A and B are shown apart, each in its own frame.
Chain A
Amino acid sequence: MPEKPKVAFYWCASCGGCEEAVVDLAEDILGVVNAVDIVLWPVAMDFKKKDIEARPDKSITVSFINGAIRTTEQEEWVRLLRRKSQFVISFGACANSGGIPGLANQFTREQILKFSYEDSPSVSNEAKTRPQASCQDEGHALSLPTLHNVVRSLDQVIEVEYTLPGCPPTPKLIAGAVTALLSGKLPPKGTVLSPDIALCEECPRKDSKPADLALAEFKRPHSSPIDPEKCLLAQGFTCMGPATRSGCEALCVKGNMPCTGCFGPTSRVRDQGAKYVSSVVSNIVPKDEAGIDAVLAGIPDPIGTFYRYGMPKSILRRKVDLS
């Protein structure tokens, strides 16, 4: 019997939802687990870094890595996995484009540490203790990873072969990717493993999306009732569908919530947020500055709304005047 392919799962700056997505494969995962040897999966199994370091280079068939890269430890791990793996799959929005952790690229490391260890209302830290990269305790040298200044996507740190979009990727897309890998039917390197068309194309509400949007106001889901049938954008919600890649089968829209863009853009779009401004904001009704500003006041945080999952991969990458 030929040797089973070796698979590693690893997580970086992420919420754990991507791990959950793997478990959500339910029975399907059992089939996969029987077909492969899992050599690393910190959320579920007890392997150590030295186990991976001891492996020959390229001896892991595929590493699925989720989460953004924002600490020295994460960077070390992904560099290590890159060397030991034939394929690396960037798994989920945080790995692909920074995800929610990527929004930290609006702040300096000092601002983040100060808030988290001193100013946050739930913190009581009178001595203002901060984590140190190294210290001595009873004669033992201890070390901690440090926070990078900049949050990065996985492909800004190591080369990746494929990208699985989503927050998290859906079981269907994961199963598709695993099957393709195990059967050796591999798409060209660099492929994003979901259809390269806008989400609106597979949205059940697309027939109610008018060609001319003529938006007279923007609404927010927490403060306005939502019609469960009509295109959300046509109702004035900032549905990211037109600037987002399909493949999720319009999960959020089916739950009566606007798409927030987690699948990232299609291959023809370089910057999801700017593209949204280009395509949607150009369609509001007023023609004069005051009227335009009044409608746009309905989008109080355009950066957080349009780059919710992708600031590190946007053209500017981060707030440019930070050190």
Chain B
Amino acid sequence: MSEKRRFEPKIVAFFCNWCTYTAADLAGVSRIKYAPNARVIRVMCSGRVDPQFILDAFAKGADGVLLGGCHPGDCHYAEGNYKTLRRMRLLERMLKGMGIEDGRFRLEWISGAEGDKVKVVINDMVEKVRALGPLDLPGRAKGWDKELEALAHGVRKSEDKKEPTHA
């Protein structure tokens, strides 16, 4: 019983409909095998991905977030992936500042023809996030809020005893 079960990171993957999602489809029909850790969410364009979505994925328990779009110049909506790149350059700095390690968020350009790149990127990301370990923000937030339970209890006690607390 000493062997611990290997940590399987949960990766939320936002893939744009026109390139990266098509590539993931291609990987599927070509029977390319890759790590099963990514939960893919199809969006019309990588530019649809508001940085709020990424933070939300982490806050709800993702260990990593992958964002995939068309190569620069190839976005179906012309400019969407440039908007993505600008946002994510700053978001990456902010994630680091908020204590989320490099490698938990990743932006990749994967065209509809690059089924193999889907495999390479997901496998590589899963290994790197596995090495980082669980992020577990829901669990951490629970830990942070223990201090509230303690006081709720303390307040009740002092009221029962009719003792003045902090006047």
> Could you say which residues of chain B place their CB within 8 Å of the CB of A318?
98, 144
Please give, as numbers and ranges, the residues of chain B lying within 8 Å of A145 by CB-CB distance: 166
B54, B89, B90 interface centre (most CB from chain A within 10 Å): B90
Cβ-defined contact, B97 with A316, below 8 A: no
B29 within 8 Å of A by Cβ? no
Chain A proximity mask over B82-105: 1 for CB below 8 Å, otherwise 0: 111111011101100111100000
State whether A48 touches B147 (Cβ < 8 A). Answer: no
- Report the bound CA distance from A49 to B141 in whole Å: 31
Q: Total A-B pairs in contact (CB under 8 Å)?
A: 124
Q: Indicate if the CB atoms of A49 and B165 lie closer than 8 Å.
A: yes
Q: Mark A69-81, 1 if CB is under 8 A from B, else 0.
A: 0001101100110
Asked, given contacts A76-B166, A320-B98, whether A149 binds B147 with beta carbons under 8 Å apart, the answer is: yes
Q: Which of B47, B55, B155, B167 contacts A274 (CB 8 A)?
A: B55
Beta-carbon contact of A270 and B97 below 8 Å: no
- Return B162 CB to nearest CB of chain A, in Å: 8
Given A49-B164, A143-B166; A315-B55 close (CB under 8 Å): yes
* Cα separation A315 to B47 with both chains bound (whole Å): 20
Interface flags, B123-165, vs A, CB<8A=1, else 0: 0000000000001010011001101100110110001000011
Contact: A76 with B151, CB < 8 Å?
A: yes
Cross-chain contact B55 with A319 (CB below 8 angstroms): no
Q: How many angstroms from the CA of A269 to the CA of B55 in the assembled complex?
A: 13
B28 contacts partner chain A, Cβ-Cβ < 8 Å: no
Q: Is A186 an interface position by the 8 A CB rule?
A: no
A143-B166, A271-B55, A299-B90 given; 12 more Cβ-contact pairs under 8 Å? A50-B164, A75-B151, A76-B155, A271-B52, A278-B52, A282-B83, A282-B84, A287-B72, A302-B90, A302-B93, A317-B141, A318-B144
- Can you spell out 27 A-B residue pairs with CB atoms less than 8 angstroms apart? A72-B151, A73-B166, A75-B155, A76-B155, A79-B152, A143-B166, A270-B52, A271-B51, A271-B52, A274-B91, A275-B51, A277-B51, A277-B90, A281-B90, A282-B47, A282-B83, A282-B84, A283-B83, A283-B86, A284-B86, A289-B85, A296-B93, A302-B90, A303-B98, A316-B98, A320-B99, A320-B100
